[in-house]
């Protein structure tokens, strides 16, 4: 009996893991890409697998600076400059979530700067250049981003202070 209990516990643990994996699709790694243009605070163009792709950062939203019909919003140029300082001309690793593209055909990704692995989406929120934008089902880092935004807001960082949002 003593030998059976650990074996049964192991089987239960494996079964739970299999169910979790089935219901939580693994993130897609699009791979390494070269940033060829920073469009604004949350969008870049990259060279990936021999083609140019527009990439929209998942989970974050920066003030608009290039949206047609929309005036340049408070802190937009600073957010774009911060994004450029993080990734312009750099190599990045792109990791997806559940959905591969948005309704505009842009690749949706969490962006990690190479070679240091800095998580760009999180960095923009942490420093107050971006707010959170959780759109299900792409919410793998939503809780992390919400905590970073709350801290940035309380500290009066970036747009939270400059745009009277604090």
State residue 99's pLDDT score. Answer: 96
Give the residue, 9 or 140, on which the prediction is more confident. Answer: 140
State residue 69's pLDDT score. Answer: 81
- Kindly tell me if the per-residue pLDDT of 24 is higher than 50: no
pLDDT in tens, 45-59: 999 999 999 999 999
Task: Provide the residue count of the chain.
Answer: 166
**Residue 4's pLDDT band (cuts 50, 70, 90):** low
- Kindly tell me if the per-residue pLDDT of 21 is higher than 50: no
What would the two tokens of residue 50 be?
A: 């021999």
Q: 54: burial class by Cβ within 10 Å (0-12, 13-18, 19+)? A: middle
pLDDT in tens, 87-145: 999 999 999 999 999 999 999 999 999 999 999 999 999 999 999 999 999 999 999 99
State residue 7's pLDDT score. Answer: 52
> Cis omega (within 30 of 0) on the bond before 153?
no
Q: 20: burial class by Cβ within 10 Å (0-12, 13-18, 19+)? A: exposed
Of the listed ranges 74-78, 127-131, 144-148, 150-154, the least confidently predicted one is 74-78
* Residues carrying an active site annotation: 56, 64, 106
3-state helix, strand, coil in the chain (%, to 5): 35, 25, 40
State residue 47's pLDDT score. Answer: 98
Give the residue, 15 or 154, on which the prediction is more confident. Answer: 154
State residue 71's pLDDT score. Answer: 80
């Amino acid at each position: 009996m003593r030998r059976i209990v650990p074996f049964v516990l192991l089987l239960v643990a494996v079964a739970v893991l299999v169910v979790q994996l089935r219901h939580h699709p693994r993130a897609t790694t699009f791979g390494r890409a070269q940033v060829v243009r920073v469009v604004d605070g949350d969008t870049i163009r990259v060279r990936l697998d021999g083609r140019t792709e527009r990439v929209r950062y998942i989970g974050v939203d920066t003030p608009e600076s290039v949206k047609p019909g929309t005036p340049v919003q408070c802190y937009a140029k600073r957010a774009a400059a911060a994004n450029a300082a993080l990734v312009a001309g750099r190599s990045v690793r792109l990791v997806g979530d559940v959905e591969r593209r948005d309704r505009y055909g842009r690749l949706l990704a969490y962006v990690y700067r190479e070679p240091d692995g800095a998580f760009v989406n999180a960095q923009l929120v942490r420093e107050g250049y971006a707010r959170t934008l959780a759109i299900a089902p792409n919410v793998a880092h939503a809780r992390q981003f919400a905590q970073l935004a709350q801290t940035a807001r309380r500290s009066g960082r970036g747009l939270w202070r400059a745009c009277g949002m604090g």
